[in-house]
Structure 1
Amino acid sequence: MRAFGGIDWASDHHDFALVNQDGALLAKARISDDLTGLQQLLGLLTEHGDSEDTPIPVAIETSRGLLVACLRATKRAVYAINPMAAARYRERHAVTRKKSDQLDAMVLANILRTDAAAHRPLPEDSELVQSIAVLARAQQDAVWDRTQAGNKLRSHLREYFPTFLTATQPLRDGLCSPIARTILAAAPTPAQAAALSRAQLRSLIKKAGRKRSIETETERLYAALHAPQMHQLPLVEQAMGLQTVTLLRKLEAACTSADELAEAAVETFEKHPDAEIITSFPGLGALTGARVLAEIGDDRSRFTDAKALKAYAGAAPVTRASGKSVAVMARRVKNQRLASVGYVWAFSALTASPGAKAHYDRRRNDGDRHTAAQRNLFNRMIGCLHHCLTKRVCYDEVKLPQGQVVKGFPLLSRRLGGCRPLGRS
């Protein structure tokens, strides 16, 4: 007798329900969020026919956590059901809109019983790609934290120290650059910055790691920091300087975290066998490649074709048709992290690939805006990526399918780019 399990997840306990193929309740329990609860859950599954050859599938409303990791380790199908979808299914079982944890567990189990084919189980990614996902997502979060911390500091400096923003604007990373952070830590107020001598500025620039054009940079910063500006009252300016030091600590922590996580993500990504294929694409470096691999994984059965991957990434449009009305719109429900790195990938490919630039220009000439043209380019590139990963070949834009090589041939602008065998130059 086939069975289906559902788990209503909570922070300290979980409600479990098991139903058969007719929808009858076979077992229910409330388990704790620890090893004892896991053993109790596995015992209930074993009592009702669970085995290594025929594991009972389980539905849960999250894809993370120790419980999900342990269930995936048992090689069973684990379905992460969207809470909004689960709420719609609940109305099929309780028209009075009553709600309880046990009812939610039964609803999740019945979702698998009736509509398992309409939902996708969690992919069977390797341990290496799961570690890459942890590092790449943490690094992306650190970058977002760094941007937020930098914006807060910039907004604060604009209220009492605008000349510092002018002085650091030409720097590559602006306020996030090591030079800007080092000088601001030493002189957080306009009065302290104006008191810095050329020798002190030169020492701070060297401390920040600058190796070239030190004298030129010293003179530029000296002139900018000594330029006349409006001032707050002395005590107010001093207090705002203390607040700057606090905001600067948050920015320093975010910058350090982003750099360390980027190094760890790249180092782990380069150990994966798909790294060579992914980085063979124009515009994809080791870090952006790690972000792409983190979201698509290495379970090749996860996406049956390139269309599924394009929809998951948000690159494919959505068509809504009713009668004579047809509307084609950008996809809103998507993997936001993959879509985010997709725009970076497409933008970088414009300067790294003649074919990508030709495709983008043609879309612009056809009336697309910049964002739409970039999304369409990402759509083509990720389709090529699916092909290359499936066939285990590296991307080669200038190689024709027959093997003839024509330099500068913008193949991407018309058809799928050529491919070369993995490991060859």
Structure 2
Amino acid sequence: LLFVGDDWAEDHHDVEVMDASGRRLARARLPEGVAGMTRLHAMIGQALGDDIDTDDDARVRIGIETDRGPWVQALVAAGYTVYAVNPLQASRYRERLALSGAKSDAADAHMLADMVRTDSHQLRPIAGDTADAQAVKVVTRTHKTLVWERTRAGQRLRHALRDYFPAALTAFADLDAPDALELLAKAPDPAAAARLSLTQISAALKRARRRDIPAKAATIQAALRAEHLGQPAVVTAAYAASVRALVALLVTLNEQVKALQGQVEDHFGRHPDAEIILSQPGLGAVLGSRVLAEFGDDHDRYTSAKARKNYAATSPITRASGKKRTVAARFVHNDRLIDALMAQAFSALHTSPGARAYYDRQRARGAGYNAALRQLANRLVGILHGCLKAGAVYDETTAWSHHLTEAAA
């Protein structure tokens, strides 16, 4: 076996090749791209010797602190076993080798090579996700990132209005709604907003396809014309300019979120696992695509439902030492995945009698809202794992037969 440590940077890779005894065979700094990959193959080929068998690529194990990008894909395509080492794991392992805290790129390459040499059985090889799953992951992550950015921009807009134009917060309940953004772009300061006519407000509400337009227009106009505390004129003008920029940003984000949602649904709908995932309670096209994107579609990646639950961070952590034993939630997790799974659990409460019965049972035992919802999410992950393994769609009776029986009793 050969063991390779790859400490990557944006434009280069520090690489060390090591044999099974821990002896360094080669070390180099390689450029990113085709030239660097060619040199890496040459280094590995030289270390393997002249009598290279077609299966020799499988004897090469590579540790690198990332699981994405063209470089990693090229390593996997070459047939090497690639381990995406968690940076926190690498940091802890580094402390075993250098208590002084010394660190360098070359030393990190050595550390990664030694780590896969001695502890590869504790590491997870990069999953063999299909190109379809990777495409779903790209558009889904971008879509979710834009949703988060829209939330942040909306919060910034709310804070700005509260500081100089609180009447707008009373007039517009949803600041990123099309009608609110249109009117704020047209009248971003209190004086201009007070001059808005019922006709102008009604036209904006009509374009946003609101109902009961006359009553809503009158309510908005009254709120904008009410007396309020203000800022000096020059400060108000500065805030108005800031609000115009934030409104323009929110308009663009709304457009791109909508456009990307179509791409998410399109890519997800073509995936072979889409039918099984969509059959799960609480999962639609958007949430389902996020679950698929973060779990991946390599059915051999998770050896058991417990392994999938541990990766999802829905299962608890038990810490036991002597007579002391504590059970706690996992706070180190994939934010995108746990966000989707908790949203699924909440939606499942309204669509699945079994999920509702399971949740109510946890609450009856004294679990709080978040804890009970997390336990439900954990149960739903196990159900999804079973469906994917069996290639079967969700069945309410099969999934919850035990809990439904107890609830009926």
> So what's the TM-score if we normalise by structure 1?
0.89
Q: How far apart are the structure 2 equivalents of 1:227 and 1:93?
A: 68
1:97 offset after TM fit, Å?
4.0
Matched, 1:126 2:121: no
Once structures 1 and 2 are overlaid, which stretch shifts more, 232-241 or 303-312? 232-241
Q: Deviations over 1:123-163 (max 9, x none)?
A: 00000101111111111111111111111110010112112
Question: Which residue of structure 2 lines up, in the alignment, with residue 206 of structure 1?
Answer: 206
Distance 1:102 1:203, change over 3 A: same
Residue in 1 that maps onto 2:229: 230
2:169 partner amino acid: L
Instruction: Name the structure with the higher helix share.
Output: 2
Residue matched to 1:413: 403
SS at match of 2:175: helix
Structure 1: distance between partners of 2:322 and 2:126: 37
Q: Cα RMSD (Å) of the superposition?
A: 1.9
| Displacement of 1:227 | 2.6
Counterpart among 129, 135, 141 of residue 139 in structure 2: 135
Does residue 73 (structure 1) correspond to residue 63 (structure 2)? The answer is no
The residue correspondences of 1:186-201 to structure 2 (distance < 5 A) are 186-201=186-201
CA distance in 1, matches of 2:379, 2:107: 44
- Residue 266 of structure 2 is matched in structure 1 by 267
Within 5 A, what are the aligned runs for 1:243-322?
A: 243-322=242-321
Instruction: Say if 2:340 is the partner of 1:376.
Output: no
TM-superposed CA distance for 1:13, in Å, is 1.2
Q: Corresponding residue for 1:420?
A: none
Superposition TM-score, scaled by structure 2 size = 0.93
Q: Distance in 1 between matches of 2:248 and 2:54?
A: 52
Q: Does 1:60 align with 2:64?
A: yes
- Offset at residue 103 of structure 1 (A): 1.9
Structure 1 residue runs without a partner (length 5+): 402-409, 416-425
Write the distance in 1 (CA, Å) between the matches of 2:99 and 2:233. 67
Deviation at 1:180, TM superposition (A): 1.0
Tell me which moved more, 66-75 or 357-366: 66-75
Query: Whole-Å Cα distance in 2 between the matches of residues 132 and 306 of structure 1?
Result: 23
| CA apart distance, 1:115 | 1.0
Distance between the aligned counterparts of 2:78 and 2:240, measured in 1? 56
In the other structure, the counterpart of 1:344 is: 343
SS of the residue corresponding to residue 164 of structure 2 reads coil
- Identity fraction in percent: 43
Task: Give matches, 1:78-93, under 5 Å.
Answer: 78-93=82-97
Aligned mates of 1:183, 1:331 — CA distance in 2: 44
Distance (whole Å) between structure 2 residues aligned to residue 108 and residue 414 of structure 1: 50
Cα deviation digits, residues 273-297 of structure 1 (max 9, x gap): 1111111111111000000000111
Whether the aligned pair in 2 keeps the contact of 1:359 and 1:412 (CA below 8 Å) is: no
Q: How far apart are 1:51 and its partner, in Å? A: 6.0
Give the residue type in structure 2 aligned to 1:83: P
* C-alpha distance in 1 between matches for 2:301 and 2:393: 20
In structure 2, relative to structure 1, the CA distance for the partners of 1:414 and 1:175 (3 Å cut) is same
Letter aligned with residue 116 of structure 1? S
Change (3 A) 1:19 1:400: closer
Partner Cα distance (2:327, 2:79) in 1: 40
1:8 and 1:105 in contact (8 A); partners too: yes
Deviation (angstroms), 1:46: 2.2
Q: Unaligned regions of 5+ residues in structure 2, if any? A: none
Paired with 2:231 and 2:355, the residues of 1 have a C-alpha distance of: 51
Q: Amino acid of the residue matched to residue 306 of structure 2?
A: K
Q: Which residue of 2 aligns with 1:323?
A: 322
